[in-house]
Amino acid sequence: MSEQSRREFLKKVGLGAAGVALGVGAGPRARRAMGEPIYEAGEVIQAGPVPRGGPATLAGGKVIQPQREVPVMRSTDVLVVGGGPAGVVAALAAKRAGAEVTLVERYGHFGGLWTGGLVLIVLATHGRQGEGLTKCVRGIGDEICERLLKVSCGIMNQAPGKRDPTSDPEATKFVLDEMLREAGVGILLHSWATNAIVEGSAVRGVLFESKAGCQAVRAKVVVDATGDGDVFSAAGAEHTRHLHRIGLVHRLGNVDRVDREKVKAAGKRLPSFGSATPIPSVRWVNMQGPTADCLDVEALSRCEMDARRAIWNRVEAIRATPGCEEVFLLETAAQLGVRVSRTLKGLTEMALADAAAGKAYRDVVGIGGGYALTRDKACQVPYGALVPARVDNLLAAGRCVAADNKMMNYTRLIAPCFVLGHAAGAAAALCVQDGCRPRDVEVPKLQALLKKQGAFLG
């Protein structure tokens, strides 16, 4: 039921605006009449069996998974796997370009490391182009930041003359939900993509695991925005594996209650509280962390627990400092800070040397802002960095695109991930519209679509 007809209906049955806004207040009868499924607590439901083919078995000491048919939950034009900055922008771009889109995310919220990882500063929004500083990240990524301006404590430094804004993670989750809903993107949260469906050299969808077991989503084009290249790796696309530093970000509360005079009087140095956030009393603290294999679950487990211990001890030391007693650990990130694990072998590999030299690409699909690595220079993103060298019907977006091991420290920043996601989503929609493979997309057509959607191509 559309929001309009829902409002009209609720007006008719005499429910107030609060009930409309929160989606609560309507009784079971009214909600059932609106077409919403209403269950009573404890009610027995028969949702249809999920064929599992039985449990895994042991044969000769080996664990054997049974061959089984996997139920197809839905078919879609474009399937975006991973709802981080790149995936959300890709889904919005594809949907706005007219494709039917499903977005699959393993956690219960969108934003990836930007929200769940508490990485709050959107780096590389602006860059030097010629003499001046240009806002490079426009289009959907910038629209998200502009939307964050409209919610209380949503974002700071998102204003003319400012660069690299910092957002609040909860505000960001809320805004991303709203934008995805408004666009009509099909959403599957709590769904972990575990395998690719491949026919010949073409990806036809993914398998995902949820509490309902293993199910499939079939798609005409898949965008791998998992950050770790889970889909392209499963599909057999060539890629490189990297070790990188793994950190755990945290937020501190009550930082505005620090008594600096008391710290000074005690002869202590003011501890570092990290960086400002849109909430004045709250700061976020980045962490470098040890270098490890981000695909090794035992390493991830160790890193997570070691980092949490280090953070706890550090916060205890802060609280033991006279004048800092009220500072507290607001939260550690729900999502461990994996920087890079896999990068795609694409038609084009972005290289830091090229970026620093200001290389121009014929298939430019976006401009990333400047960063220390690029000597603050704006930097072109070629479409070829998103397209697997061999596998078809698949695009990569975000921190797992084709980049050399220096450039990947640029392409993984949030603002370039917006740009990469925008290009991937628009390209996927064009593939559906023109019935072609990603490698055969007409680049001028893609560039025109991106410009129409507000992207900056130089």
CB of 144 to ligand FAD, least distance (A): 12
Is-contact 411 423, C-beta < 8 A? no
- Give the binding range for ligand FAD (CB under 6 A) out of 226-234, 307-315, 320-328, 360-368: 226-234
Q: Is 122 in the site for ligand FAD (CB under 6 A)?
A: yes
Among 237, 249, 429, 449, binds ligand FAD (CB under 6 A): 249
Rounded CA-CA distance 380/361 in Å is: 7
CB of 30 to ligand FAD, least distance (A): 35
Among 26, 73, 82, 391, binds ligand FAD (CB under 6 A): 82
Rounded CA-CA distance 122/415 in Å is: 6
Q: Is 142 in the site for ligand FAD (CB under 6 A)?
A: no
Rounded CA-CA distance 99/91 in Å is: 9
Q: Is 225 in the site for ligand FAD (CB under 6 A)?
A: yes
Is-contact 370 127, C-beta < 8 A? yes
Rounded CA-CA distance 170/115 in Å is: 7
- Give the binding range for ligand FAD (CB under 6 A) out of 53-61, 84-92, 252-260, 313-321: 84-92
Q: Is 291 in the site for ligand FAD (CB under 6 A)?
A: no
Q: Between 85-96 and 414-434, two packed helices, what is the crossing angle to 10 degrees?
A: 30
Rounded CA-CA distance 111/414 in Å is: 10
Among 255, 407, 413, 455, binds ligand FAD (CB under 6 A): 413
Among 10, 30, 73, 87, binds ligand FAD (CB under 6 A): 87
Among 147, 163, 239, 399, binds ligand FAD (CB under 6 A): 399
- 3-state DSSP: the chain helix, strand, coil percent, rounded to 5? 35, 25, 45
Task: Using DSSP bridges, classify how beta strands 192-199 and 202-210 pair: parallel, antiparallel or unpaired.
Answer: antiparallel
Among 113, 140, 144, 423, binds ligand FAD (CB under 6 A): 113
DSSP annotation of 383: G
The number of angstroms, rounded, from the C-alpha of 122 to the middle of its chain's C-alpha atoms is 13
CB of 231 to ligand FAD, least distance (A): 7
Q: Between 85-96 and 139-149, two packed helices, what is the crossing angle to 10 degrees?
A: 110
Of residues 353-392, those binding ligand FAD (CB under 6 A): none
CB of 9 to ligand FAD, least distance (A): 35
CB of 450 to ligand FAD, least distance (A): 18
CB of 221 to ligand FAD, least distance (A): 17
Name the nearest CA neighbour of 300 among 455, 18, 227, 308: 308
Of residues 298-357, those binding ligand FAD (CB under 6 A): 337-339
Among 192, 273, 328, 361, binds ligand FAD (CB under 6 A): 192
CB of 386 to ligand FAD, least distance (A): 12
Give the DSSP per-residue string, 202-250.
EEEEEEEEETTEEEEEEEEEEEE-SSS-HHHHHTT--EEE-EEEEE--E
Residue number with CB closer to ligand FAD (384 or 398): 398
Q: Is 180 in the site for ligand FAD (CB under 6 A)?
A: no
Task: Write out the residues near ligand FAD by the rule CB under 6 A.
Answer: 81-87, 104-107, 112-114, 117, 119, 121-123, 192-193, 225-228, 230, 247, 249, 286-287, 337-339, 398-399, 412-414, 417
